[in-house]
Amino acid sequence: MPVAYLLLGSNLGDRATILREALQHLQEVAGTVEAVSGLYETAAWGLEDQPPFLNQAVQLRTSLLPEKLLDACLATEQQAGRQRLVRWGARTLDVDILLYEDKVLHTPRLTVPHPRLPERRFALVPLADIAAAVTHPVLKRTVTELLASCQDELAVTRLK
């Protein structure tokens, strides 16, 4: 079965509980959670005037094709009470597909690998916990190499 890497993020409510419940929900609807990163508190990216996020990367073994995995991610967000009011705004839960095997996919609904992964320290740091040697299928660089060259200067602090 394919392996996908996801990023979970929350900056509203009991963030740690929301991420824990999201992991359980993903396990029920999307596949087997094989690894999780530590929890990282990160400054908001894009729209910075909001509470800090808790982020966590997840390695998921799934039988779902990428667009069906997206549906499962969106259902997980919905279960957590996600409301899409403002782009990059505060949210109870965000679940992004960062990588799906070595697939490169561009559809109206989904781009894999995540198009802004190389620019986002808040995604690369937790991903490096569980997938440091994984190679970006377009850039042909490992997660460690992407992190070393990332110019994002926003704080990313490991909590546990």
CATH number, position 38: 3.30.70.560
The one catalytic residue in 96, 120, 121, 152 is: 96
pLDDT surpassing 60 at residue 88: no
Quick one: DSSP state of residue 142?
Answer: B
Average pLDDT over residues 46-60: 87
Contact assessment for residue 117 and residue 131, using Cβ atoms and an 8 Å cutoff? no
The one catalytic residue in 14, 61, 91, 121 is: 91
Residue 94 appears among annotated catalytic residues: yes
List the beta bridge partners of residue 10.
Answer: 54
Count of CA atoms in the C-beta half-sphere (13 A) of 126: 31
Dist CA 32 CA 12 (whole Å): 26
pLDDT surpassing 70 at residue 47: no
Q: Is the C-alpha dihedral spanning 47, 96, 157, 101 positive or negative?
A: negative
The one catalytic residue in 82, 120, 121, 152 is: 82
Please report which confidence band the pLDDT of residue 92 belongs to, taking 50, 70 and 90 as the band edges. confident
How high is the pLDDT of residue 44?
81
Please report which confidence band the pLDDT of residue 37 belongs to, taking 50, 70 and 90 as the band edges. very high
pLDDT surpassing 70 at residue 118: yes
Report the domain count for the chain. 1
State percent of the chain over pLDDT 90: 80
pLDDT digits (tens, 9 = 90+) for 122-151: 999 999 999 999 999 999 999 999 999 999
Helix (H) or strand (E) segment spanning residue 54: strand 53-61
pLDDT surpassing 70 at residue 48: no
User: Which of 43-57, 66-80, 137-151 has the largest mean confidence?
Assistant: 137-151
The one catalytic residue in 49, 61, 84, 94 is: 94
Dist CA 136 CA 103 (whole Å): 9
The one-letter amino acid at 53: F
Which domain range does residue 137 map to?
A: 3-158
Residue 96 appears among annotated catalytic residues: yes
